[in-house]
Amino acid sequence: MAIEGRCMKCKAQKVMKVPAKMTKTSRGGFMAKGNCSVCDCGMCRIMSKVDAEKAIADGDATKAF
Ligand SMILES: [Zn+2]
């Protein structure tokens, strides 16, 4: 399952390049950070714990927290 995020440059939902980096926010949430697969612009997406763990297990994101 690819991680999608809002790309500010494409102004659309785009798939993140694999692997994205899974980080934790100061409030304990999960956030995937990566680059747009189309334009390589930096992008991020707030993830639920379930989705974050799944993305790491699937190899779509590396654990960076
Ligand atoms: Zn883009």
Question: What b/e readout covers 44-65, taking b as 16+ CB neighbours within 10 angstroms?
Answer: bbebeeebbeebbeeebbeeee
Q: Which domain holds residue 50?
A: 4-63
Ranges of residues in the chain whose predicted pLDDT is under 70? none
Round to whole Å and give the CA distance between 40 and 27.
Answer: 28
Q: Which two tokens stand for residue 19?
A: 């692997």
- Quick: pLDDT tens for 3-13: 999 999 999 99
2's CB contacts (< 8 A; 6+ apart) are: 15, 16, 18, 60
- Looking only at the bridges linking them, the beta strands covering 30-35 and 4-7 are unpaired
Per the structure, the count of domains in the chain is 1
pLDDT at 25: 95
Ligand 1 centroid, distance to 34 Cα (angstroms):
11
Ligand 1 centroid, distance to 23 Cα (angstroms):
20
